[in-house]
Amino acid sequence: MKKLLSLLLAVAMVATMLTGCGAGGNSNKVGVSMPTKSLQRWNQDGDNMKKLLEEAGYTVDLQYADNIVETQVSQIENMINSGCKVLVIAAVEGDSLGTVLAQAKEKNIPVIAYDRLIMNSDAVSYYATFDNYMVGTKQGEYIRDQLDLDNATGPFNLEITTGDPGDNNAKFFYQGAMDVLNPYIDEGKLVVKSGQKDFDKVATDSWATENAQNRA
């Protein structure tokens, strides 16, 4: 439900930004840049956003970057040069788009950061997301409840894996979960056998499944 609300919020922002653009030509063209098609949620988000925007009368250029920063930068450049009046971007890496977004700013193209915060850039007009810390909290609470940590004696072995260090959301997911689990780790009821608990040790570059599998 929260993901749906953030998607609807992004669509509403697009409509607000294009209200004063006028009609004709490419004045209603929207560029939507998603990080990858390898995860179903990005397919669903991209398809749903395109559907909603087209139903509202906009032309949509939807692109997926295969989790490659350079590909996303090239796609965004093409969107800028093809006349997109608003950009909606779910970044592959939140701190790697400053240069290309400077081009958008020069052309007065508003940028909406979708789901993942875009950092190191002053070109972002809005950020549409959900409560990422709460998502992490729910993950931690699920582990706590399933293992009945408040009553069971344990110990239970646990290994921790989180997302890409360049994605600001991953830090919120991690912190929300660890705020729930750390008391049980300190108590010895949860045991991290590898000793790897800090964010920089458990992060997964590019959210790549193969990177997480190799570490496991």
Judged against a pLDDT cut of 60, whether residue 3 lies above it is answered with no
User: How confident is the model over 114-172, as pLDDT tens digits?
Assistant: 988 898 899 999 988 878 889 899 999 999 999 999 999 889 999 999 988 877 888 98
Give me the count of residues in the chain. 216
CA distance 34 to 96: 14
Domain 2-128 in CATH 3.40.50.2300: yes
Judged against a pLDDT cut of 50, whether residue 1 lies above it is answered with no
Crossing angle of the two packed helices 69-81 and 98-106, in degrees rounded to 10: 10
In the chain, where do the E strands start and end? Answer: 29-34, 59-64, 86-89, 111-114, 124-128, 156-157, 190-191
pLDDT at 74: 97
The domains of the chain are located at 2-128, 132-211
Instruction: Enumerate residues 6+ apart whose C-beta is below 8 A from 144.
Output: 150, 180, 181, 184
Q: Which of 103 and 209 is assigned the larger pLDDT?
A: 103
The mean pLDDT value for 91-113 works out to 92
pLDDT at 24: 41
DSSP 167: -
What percent of the chain stands above pLDDT 70? 89
CB count in 10 Å sphere of residue 59: 15
Q: Please provide the average confidence, as pLDDT, over all residues in the chain.
A: 88
CB count in 10 Å sphere of residue 184: 22
CB count in 10 Å sphere of residue 73: 19
pLDDT at 207: 80
Q: Are 26 and 82 spatial neighbours (Cβ–Cβ below 8 Å)?
A: yes
Q: Which of 88, 64, 75, 78 shows the shortest CA–CA distance to 15?
A: 88
Fold of 132-211: Rossmann fold (3.40.50)
pLDDT at 128: 85
Reduced to 3 states (helix: H, G, I; strand: E, B; else coil), residue 203 is coil
pLDDT at 183: 96
pLDDT at 38: 87
CA distance 91 to 87: 12
